[in-house]
Copies of this chain bind each other. A is one copy, B any other.
Amino acid sequence: MKFCNQCGHAVSERIPEGDSRLRFVCDHCAVIHYQNPRVIAGTLPIHKGRVLLCRRAIEPRKGFWTLPAGFMENFETLEQAALRETLEEACARVRQPTLYTLFDIAQISQVHVFFRAELADLDFSAGEESLEVQLFEESEIPWADLAFPTVARTLKHYFADRQSGIFPVRNEELPAHRPLFEGNT
């Protein structure tokens, strides 16, 4: 950030009075420009034990598989954001969304939230941001080609939890990207 979005003058980075963090502050109109984490919301769409994944048509992680998810917009709820993204990326409608996983990716100031949900029907297809959309059995999940650690972790929790039929809501911190060569450590 270089300029004040209220008055157009230059901003400088300093700790405002009574604060303890560096902020962008306008030297002309004194507005403090706070910056805060962003929320990504999505679903884990399920049909008879199979889960719906989308292969990304856009960066980051183009060509890799993800659960339908994206940035929460102003004036919507977490659930509305998750269902909208599911419709946009997988052209899919889901029923009975239930909060399932919340991940802190502090490193990049993001919170990822996933809802478990039942696919309403099999009328799904690739949206503009997807190359293809497909149902996977547990044994078919392309683990090495998943786009994000939060997607892998949500899938792992789901396959473990469904053995007991109990799906506790989980809040965990995860890195932005999986470490390279994690299989070798």
| A contacts, CB < 8 Å to B | 1-11, 18, 21, 24, 33-39, 71-80, 99, 102, 104, 106-107, 109, 111, 128, 168-169, 171, 173
Chain B residue with minimal CB distance to A8? B3
Which of the residues B33, B34, B72 comes within 8 Å of A37, measured between beta carbons? Answer: B72
- Greatest chain B CB density within 10 A among A5, A10, A104, A109 is at A5
Q: Which residues of B contact A111 (CB under 8 A)?
A: 39, 72, 78
Q: Which residues of B contact A11 (CB under 8 A)?
A: 5
Which of the residues B35, B71, B75 comes within 8 Å of A74, measured between beta carbons? Answer: B35
Instruction: Looking at the assembled complex, report how far the CB atom of A25 sits from the nearest CB atom of chain B, in whole angstroms.
Output: 12
Which of the residues B99, B106, B107 comes within 8 Å of A80, measured between beta carbons? Answer: B106
A157 to B173, CA, bound (A): 26
Contact B128 A106 (CB under 8 A): no
Shortest Cβ-Cβ A-B pairs, 8 listed: A77-B104, A169-B169, A3-B8, A74-B109, A99-B171, A1-B5, A5-B5, A36-B38
A24 to B3, CA, bound (A): 15
Q: Which residues of B contact A38 (CB under 8 A)?
A: 36
Q: Which residues of B contact A104 (CB under 8 A)?
A: 76-80
Q: Which residues of B contact A78 (CB under 8 A)?
A: 102, 104, 111, 171
A26 to B168, CA, bound (A): 44
- Greatest chain B CB density within 10 A among A21, A74, A173 is at A74
A24 to B6, CA, bound (A): 12
A91 to B76, CA, bound (A): 34
